[in-house]
Amino acid sequence: MSSPLAADLASAGVAAGTPVALAIGQATLGLAWPGGSRSVATPHPHDAAEAVAAVEELGPRWVWWSARTTAYDLVGSGVRPRACWDLGAVGRLLHGLGRDDEGAVWAAQAGLDLPHPSDGGMTLLDLDGESDDAVRRDGQLSREWLRGRWAEDAGATVRWAELALDLQRRQEDAVRSLPDLRSAPGPTPLPYLTALSESMAALLCVELEVDGLPVDRAVLEGMLEQTVGPRPQTDAEEAASRRARDEVVWRAFGGDEVDLRNPATVREMLVRRGIDVPDTRSWRLEPYAAGSPGVAALLAWRKAERVATTYGWGWLARDVGDDDRLRGVWGAAEGAGRMTATAGLHSLPAELRPAIRPKPGNVLVRADLGQVEPRVLAAVSGDRALAAAAREDDMYSPVAAALRSDRPTAKVAVLAAMYGQTSGTAGAALKDMDRAYATAMAYLRGAEERGRQFQDLRTYGGRLLRLSDWAQADVDAAAGTTRAHSFGRFARNAVVQGAAAELFKAWAATVRAGLTGTGARIVLCLHDELLVETPVSEAAAVVGIVERSLQSTASWWASGSGVRFVTDTTVADSWADAKT
């Protein structure tokens, strides 16, 4: 062993896969593993990272309350743990929590009421049920410890790690007891595998925040100047630039100076020009653009306005660092389980994507899961006919043959089935879906009915969707029917979208592991799309890692379903080029 600490832990039985709980205090590292615990003095900030790196060579599965609070400084110091168990992420999975703080995760697993989030201040409640220990007499975690008492000395830090290890054991027992819904369950239950990948997704979120997305500042500044005007130096210049953009539209409408940011006044202006529309949504105005210079100018203005207000000069100054990396705050699971990101990372306009470009010598590998939600529906529902269609590169072609329709209609039918649309072309096509794919349709309707009744659901991988929290008895019949319909549609889609999110994160975790030892790193996770930044010399190898990782992930995630998952993988200098 290259480290005395690693040697000590190895002699204590810590080996590959051993859960080792980690708590990083003010000057102490607390470690706990089955059968033992110890503290390590860390008087300097870099000491904790060095100690963790030394133990990392044993291959433990790190256990922490939250990657955000424990792993952020480690990742920033260059430590990239191989495996982890994130108590907050697994708490969200098991209990459908909307928060992942220590007090909530502990209480949920113990079957206790969730404590109010602490604001850091003392209240009279601090005198109620408290003891000297981290765990109060009522079973809740001490408010004093939640506010940081655990980090103050070696004994407390080790105790915090021991509690984390105890909670990990109870969480693992809970996920292993959940049903495995795969067509051919394997020796390791799917919910347990989901807990592992959700934990790794939480760690990946920290890495995405630290690493950032590469930006070519010169290209981005040129695009902003062309779209919204020169960088304003004063509020007056910003107001003048805004008016100049508005004037282009006003002139196209004959000098009608209306508030373009008010849909009502825009509609009135359109009516005065003979364009009577029920609302001013862009998709409704697009058919008029060819015959109306005013509408064409209005639609162009809207694109520029979105860039100016959300992705303008203020965004560049705030979210793009001096190292030319775009950074936001990432979340591993919201709603049905999708990853989230701030700073516009999940909604960057196509017009700005040419600026997402690494430094010379690096390229981007973009991998996009093809038709992922229909394929997921085939896997989670167990519909053999739909699974047969999903074995093709383009599954909509065999679906069209089964529905006796053209491909566009088949695509509308499948998407309408998952999203609960019943009108227009979709309504007619759904009748054929019932005939051709009865099992999948029954699966979706079953989820929708449970949603209408505000019954809790679990996704294919085991995530709890807490719909019962939204049930209310004190609503009138009309409002109650509307709410039930809304939650029915949510549930119908969530069981597919949530499962797709679980597959995506398992794939991303597998890709991350495959990139170990290379110069490549994942820099963006966008629903069903991965971006990997890599040296040019390793691009071909990264493409192979990405594609093999999908196949290996699908082999256990959808085992027995017969569904084939595919990815469109490209290599390019910019995100925009990678999407063509």
Q: Based on C-alpha coordinates, what's the Rg of the chain? A: 27
Write out the CATH class of domain 377-499.
Answer: mainly alpha
> To 5 degrees, how large is the angle CA 503–CA 460–CA 428?
95
488 pLDDT tier (thresholds 50, 70, 90): very high
pLDDT at 474: 58
Mean pLDDT of 43-67: 95
Beta carbons within 8 Å of 422's beta carbon, 6+ residues apart: 416, 430
469 pLDDT tier (thresholds 50, 70, 90): confident
pLDDT at 483: 84
pLDDT at 120: 46
| 328-372+502-578 matches 4-177 in CATH topology | no
Instruction: Express each pLDDT in 203-243 by its tens digit.
Output: 999 999 999 999 999 999 999 998 888 999 998 998 998 89
Instruction: Express each pLDDT in 408-454 by its tens digit.
Output: 999 999 999 998 876 666 677 788 899 999 999 999 999 999 999 99
Mean pLDDT of 361-388: 97
pLDDT at 129: 55
Instruction: Express each pLDDT in 304-355 by its tens digit.
Output: 888 888 899 999 999 999 999 999 999 999 988 999 999 999 999 888 999 9
Query: Is domain 328-372+502-578 in CATH 3.30.70.370, yes or no?
Result: yes
Helix locations, 187-292, DSSP H: 190-211, 217-228, 235-252, 263-272, 282-285
Q: Which fold has domain 217-317?
A: Taq DNA Polymerase; Chain T, domain 4 (1.20.1060)
The one-letter amino acid at 240: A
98, 207 in Cβ contact below 8 A? Answer: no
Minimum mean pLDDT range among 134-138, 481-485, 559-563: 481-485
Q: Is the pTM of this model over 0.85?
A: yes
Mean pLDDT of the chain: 93
- Residue for token pair 């999407």: 579
Calculate what percentage of the chain has a pLDDT beyond 70: 95
Element (H, E) at 432: helix 424-436
Minimum mean pLDDT range among 185-199, 414-428, 515-529: 414-428
Q: What residue ranges do the domains of the chain occupy?
A: 4-177, 217-317, 328-372+502-578, 377-499
Mean pLDDT of 121-137: 67
How many residues belong to the chain? 580
Beta-bridge partner residues of 32 = 21, 37
Q: What is the CATH number of domain 4-177?
A: 3.30.420
Q: Burial, 428: exposed, middle or buried (Cβ in 10 Å; 0-12, 13-18, 19+)?
A: middle
